[in-house]
Structure 1
Amino acid sequence: MSTAVRPSACPGLLRIVPALDGGICRIKLTGGSISSAQADAVARAAEDFASGAIEATNRANLQIRGIGAEQAALIERLLAAGLGPHHAAGDDVRNLMLSPSAGIDRHMLFDTRALAEQILATVQRHEPFHDLSPKFALQLDGGEALAMLEHPNDLWLSAYGQAGECRLAFGLAGCPTDVPAGSVALDAGHDLVVAVLELFLELARPEQTRMRHVLADMPVTTFVARLAERVPLQPVTGWQRPVHETGLHMGAHAQSQAQHVYVGGVPPLGRLDGAMLRGAAQLACEYGDATLRFTPWQSLLLPNVPREHADEVLRRLQQLGLLCDADQALSQLIACTGSTGCGRGLADTKGDARQLAALLQRHGDALQVHLSGCPRSCAAAHIAPVTLLAVTPGHYDLYFREAGQPGFGAPHARNLTIEAVDALLAARSRSPLDA
């Protein structure tokens, strides 16, 4: 495969971008899924050609950090493991996010994986789609209980039932919990994606790289009317995407397949090493179906584990260093690379997150907190309930999520140390106003 790819600041498998701690290579996974053999190849490549640091991303992909001079050898290793795109120029457009429990979730309305494969094959094969931004993002939701519903996407599709028929609601520049722009029959899902991408590329000026940019100049209703000239659309009335309990990416949970569970664990702050990834891959071979699935919560799942082995798999994941209990404070924290690896980072976010987790755990608080080293918010695509934005080393501005507030939410306090953050959050959690 030719490795000639367009320049971009976003890493890809074939485009390694520099950072303070070395090069970064992003490996895009179809539906977040990777075979045990492929996981072993990633672990060994990270150890042989980089620092050994592997990151789970918030779009269910993997990154290798700290890559040195042997970039070509690392890329060759990953391509040999079958982790590359079908066409070199198509690597950037493999941005289709599925539920981590696609095909196994008890609440799913249909198995999204075949449609996802069809869409991914088309966007890689169709040369005009290679002009899409590496950040242009799609989501295909089959109605699963375990689904990331907070990440904005340029196009989302979500399954729902209507008069005994499964259809796909869709929306633009938003999330599946938004009001849909319309719907298509299930067998028209692929055609809808193609039509949306073609229409976007026809309408977008060179500087308009995302759907929201085009919709700033054009009402959604106008875009949808143009779309209806290409694909049969119907309105969606009286439907809203159900939201299920949180924390389903950790622990053991029943599948649609009888007497089987999937088992999930969170690498602390989304960071794995080779031993952790190899160990999880070995468990998948011993007890599962020899695959792992990564999630938008920067965690991993072992699917298709016989129920009687669930406790043993959980125990061994914990031995590897994964967090499998939502009551563990560190399992709820998100942190970007921070100043140890990123030139934009103003604080050691991962180190500070570990300090905060220890303080929160001491008084029994497991809060969802996002630590960001700069305003770009690379580690979280959604607005977290609590955000700490670094201002200087060890000091953060504190924000709380609030309906209607853009960015990180409502500012609450400035220039706090981690100890001061802990004290403020502890006082807030004890307040009857927040009960």
Structure 2
Amino acid sequence: MSHAFHSSDASALRPSACPGLLRIVPALDGGLCRVKLAGGELSATQAFAMAGAIDEHASGVVDITNRANLQLRGVKRGHEAALVAALLDAGLGPQNAEHAFADDVRNVMVSPVAGRDANALYDTSALAGDLLTLLQGDTRFAALSPKFALMLDGGERLMMLDHPHDIWFSAMPQRDRPDVLFAIGLAGCPPVATDHDSALAAVTATDLATFTQALVHTFLDLAAPDDARMRDLLAAHSIENIIRHAEHRSGVSLLRDASIRGWRREPADAERRLGAHRQNDGQRWHVGAQPALGRMNSTTLRGLAELAGDNARATLRMTPWQSVLLTDIDTVNLDATLRKLEALGLATTADNPLTRVIACAGSAGCAKSQADTKADALKLAAQVPEHTQVHLSGCPRSCAAAHRAPYTLLAAADGHYDLYHTHDPRESNGFGRCIARGLTIDEAADALNASALPPTDEPFDA
């Protein structure tokens, strides 16, 4: 099917600085186009189409985002309509392409191994599809912010649990019930530790989509004009009022008892995004690898597409750790797949320090950035200590990480960073507590490698 894109399509979108498929926004290195992937999934055919599109209409570079989407950089002036048309023709747009808002609302995060994880309590694949369909099909949801997001957690061992979402659902283990229950929370994430907020209630899998639609309508019913996210609504309305309103709208009665309030989600294991792990059928494998700093060029994208095509049932899935998975790899192809991923320049084990460093676009691509974070991150990776995770951010917006990293280097000037540590009881802001200021990359590496960080109450200056 051919899709014509007109400038009026973009103008129909809600004003926002947030890029989308139909909303290409300017950046320092050209236009920025964000392609939202259902479940993070990209077929081999779509990967080939995207590689050709970015070579012809953009810079040939894509970044994997922390929401498991793809961000196409350097869109050439005058090529916007052609790029959008190519992406729509590849099936990379919303189900209802005639509704411009439908692209904005496709924000449902699931595990990158949904339907494949042997540890899952529930296969969320079909339910996630139901949620995407209802979000795109309700025209009232055009009033939602492009950042308004849902999480659907099936209890997989590989699941991003640290990103806050406007609404989250998490499967709960059941002994005496035939149906699966999903815990519910607002403006946060599932509780893993005892100091996290508890689940508010629980809903059956059968009623989850119906209740979700009512809950999103409740947000729009109660929200003030400036309330973009659920946390804004919670500042003016009690959780109980919001839940009661949604129950009344949906006709769904939620379950509330001490076992739900006391429930804690089993910890996840982010290292399972790398290497080979047997799937729930006991026969095939999912294989994960990390491109350096989450960035791929068209050659890498084509190489991944070829790998997926070489395995009859395989698909590519982006992850919120800015890595990529191939599902459904037969045992006979496992070693060759791992070798080909390494040959493409992707890391397949946590021993590679590039799997422990993330960075935003930096001053090479973003006018707000104070430093070339991508180049500095590559330099730091060669010196970062084992098991240490570091986030380099060019400005306080923290575009590369939706959750607080153990260590953050916040750019203060070109080549100089303030170092923050999150695991500190005196942490004072979104990055944690500042423990050093004005560090060069080499000085930051020395601080990270030091056996003890400064115990003083005030940060020291380099």
Taking structure 2 as the reference length, the TM-score comes to 0.90
- Tell me if structure 1 keeps the 8 A contact 2:211–2:247: no
Which residue matches 1:126? 138
Query: What is the CA-CA distance between 1:429 and the residue it aligns to?
Result: 7.2
Which residue matches 2:46? 38
- Tell me if structure 2 keeps the 8 A contact 1:281–1:290: no
Q: Distance in 2 between matches of 1:193 and 1:79?
A: 28
Q: Distance in 1 between matches of 2:319 and 2:269?
A: 16
3-state DSSP class of the match of 1:116? Answer: helix
Q: Is 2:447 the partner of 1:428?
A: no
- Quick one: which of 76, 81, 98 aligns to 1:72? 81
- Quick one: which of 268, 282, 295 aligns to 2:319? 295
3-state DSSP class of the match of 1:247? Answer: helix
Query: What is the CA-CA distance between 1:365 and the residue it aligns to?
Result: 2.3
Equivalent residue letter for 1:29? L
Equivalent residue letter for 1:113? S
Which residue matches 1:48? 56
Q: Is 2:163 the partner of 1:151?
A: yes
- Quick one: which of 221, 231, 238 aligns to 2:240? 221
- Tell me if structure 2 keeps the 8 A contact 1:255–1:262: yes
Query: What is the CA-CA distance between 1:245 and the residue it aligns to?
Result: 2.7
Equivalent residue letter for 1:271? R
- Tell me if structure 2 keeps the 8 A contact 1:336–1:378: yes
Matched ranges for 1:18-417 at <5 A: 18-69=26-77, 70-87=79-96, 88-162=100-174, 163-164=176-177, 165-177=179-191, 178-230=197-249, 231-235=252-256, 236-287=260-311, 289-360=313-384, 365-402=386-423, 405=427, 406-417=429-440
Provide structure 2 residue ranges, at least 5 long, that are not aligned to the other structure. Answer: 192-196, 455-462
3-state DSSP class of the match of 2:186? Answer: strand
Query: What is the CA-CA distance between 1:238 and the residue it aligns to?
Result: 3.2
- Tell me if structure 1 keeps the 8 A contact 2:362–2:394: yes
Q: Distance in 1 between matches of 2:369 and 2:317?
A: 29
Query: What is the CA-CA distance between 1:377 and the residue it aligns to?
Result: 0.2
1:1-38 per-position Cα deviation (integer Å, ceiling 9, x unaligned): 66343231011111100000000110000000011000
Relative to structure 1, the CA distance from residue 146 to residue 429 in structure 2 (aligned partners, 3 Å threshold; closer, same or farther) is farther
Equivalent residue letter for 1:355? K
Q: Distance in 2 between matches of 1:18 and 1:28?
A: 18
Q: Distance in 2 between matches of 1:175 and 1:187?
A: 22
- Tell me if structure 1 keeps the 8 A contact 2:370–2:412: yes
Q: Distance in 2 between matches of 1:337 and 1:60?
A: 16
Q: Distance in 2 between matches of 1:22 and 1:401?
A: 34
Relative to structure 1, the CA distance from residue 429 to residue 46 in structure 2 (aligned partners, 3 Å threshold; closer, same or farther) is farther
3-state DSSP class of the match of 2:166? Answer: strand
**What percentage of residue pairs aligned between the two structures are identical?**
50
Relative to structure 1, the CA distance from residue 288 to residue 270 in structure 2 (aligned partners, 3 Å threshold; closer, same or farther) is farther
- Point out the more displaced range, 252-261 or 376-385: 252-261
Q: Distance in 1 between matches of 2:270 and 2:74?
A: 33
Relative to structure 1, the CA distance from residue 217 to residue 263 in structure 2 (aligned partners, 3 Å threshold; closer, same or farther) is same
Equivalent residue letter for 1:389? L
Q: Distance in 2 between matches of 1:212 and 1:65?
A: 30
- Point out the more displaced range, 231-240 or 119-128: 231-240
Query: What is the CA-CA distance between 1:411 and the residue it aligns to?
Result: 1.1
